[in-house]
Amino acid sequence: MRDILRRYGSTLTCFIVTLPAFWLLALVVLPYMILFEYSLKPMLPVDQLGGPNDVYGIGNYLTFFTSPIHIRIFFLTVFFSSVVTVICLVLSYPLAFFLAKVAKPHNVPTLFMILLIPLWVSEILRSFAWFVVLSFHGPLNALLGGIGVIADPVRWISGFNGVMIGLVYTYVLFMLFPIYNAIQALDSHQIEAAEDLGAPAWRIHWRVVIPHSKPGIASGCVMVFMLSAGSIIVPSLLASPGSRWFTEIVQQWMFEAQDWNTGSAYAFLLLVLCTVFVTLMMRLFKVRLADIAK
């Protein structure tokens, strides 16, 4: 700290301290605290604000815990986000390994360039693309029907299918990149040594590559789970009547009911969920936060 002052002088040090302070206080910590404060207050008409009814309580949280429908939607969101996370992990791991250790080094930037195209095209259009592909009279049914895999068109967007397909496609790259970074940092000699000592391929992965890529896997899982559980656009595009997502309930409170207090209670539950998940991943993979966010 004193070092900064000596190097950059008092004016610049003032900037170096105030800018992050403004960020962390005004844009991060205080807003989260206000969110929590709102969630503890009942929604009141303007003339009753500050009146006898304007007291702290857990009424908004009771609204959630006494509504079986909302609890059910919450746990379905958690469950299907976890499934999406696992699918993304299974899809990404072989590809990350290929890019880091198998592909010729001068081909890797080209492959990354191709993989980045969907990322630049934006989240909303990635999910919209699947809306077009999966539609009942859409190209997927035409293709599969044409080559004789299916006899009748399939209603893809039913139950949680559409949402899961969309979430996996939209967020799989957030799993791929951290795992690639982790595997790339592994010394290839370790793999060769294991081969020379006669380890079969699956054991090399299980005992050498996967343990080394743990920070990447943890990081990818946290990102994909958080993005999936917090996704708004994918469920609203690809959900069927039978699949509602927790963020849709939050939106209902905020926009339709205009009840910001209950809305913030539900948003706070989402925040708690993600915090619990991050903690769980750190325990499970025995990594620190600095390893996850890289």
Binders of another protein among 185-204, rule CB under 8 A? 201
Among 49, 62, 71, 121, binds another protein (CB under 8 A): 121
Of 182 and 222, the one with the shorter C-beta distance to another protein is: 222
Which of these, 247, 201, 239, 234, lies nearest to 97 by C-alpha position? 201
* Interface region with another protein, contact rule CB under 8 A, candidates 16-24, 46-54, 183-191, 207-215: 16-24
What stretches of 98-187 show up as alpha helix (H) in DSSP? Answer: 108-120, 123-134, 139-146, 161-184
Q: Does 58 help bind another protein (rule: CB under 8 A)?
A: no
Q: Does 15 help bind another protein (rule: CB under 8 A)?
A: yes
- What is the spatial distance between Cα 62 and Cα 67, in angstroms, rounded to a whole number? 8
Q: Does 4 help bind another protein (rule: CB under 8 A)?
A: yes
- What is the spatial distance between Cα 46 and Cα 63, in angstroms, rounded to a whole number? 22
What the block records as the tokens of 133 is 């592909």
- Tell which positions 238-257 bind another protein, by CB under 8 A: 247, 250-251, 254
Q: Does 56 help bind another protein (rule: CB under 8 A)?
A: no
Give the number of other CB atoms < 10 A from CB of residue 252: 15
What stretches of the chain show up as alpha helix (H) in DSSP? Answer: 2-22, 30-39, 59-65, 68-97, 108-120, 123-134, 139-146, 161-184, 188-196, 201-204, 210-212, 214-229, 233-238, 246-251, 260-285, 289-292
Among 46, 102, 147, 151, binds another protein (CB under 8 A): 102
Q: Does 154 help bind another protein (rule: CB under 8 A)?
A: no
Q: Does 130 help bind another protein (rule: CB under 8 A)?
A: yes
- Tell which positions 212-241 bind another protein, by CB under 8 A: 222-223, 226-227, 229-233, 236-237
- Tell which positions 163-182 bind another protein, by CB under 8 A: 169
Among 43, 76, 83, 129, binds another protein (CB under 8 A): 129
Name the minimum Å distance from CB 148 to another protein.
16
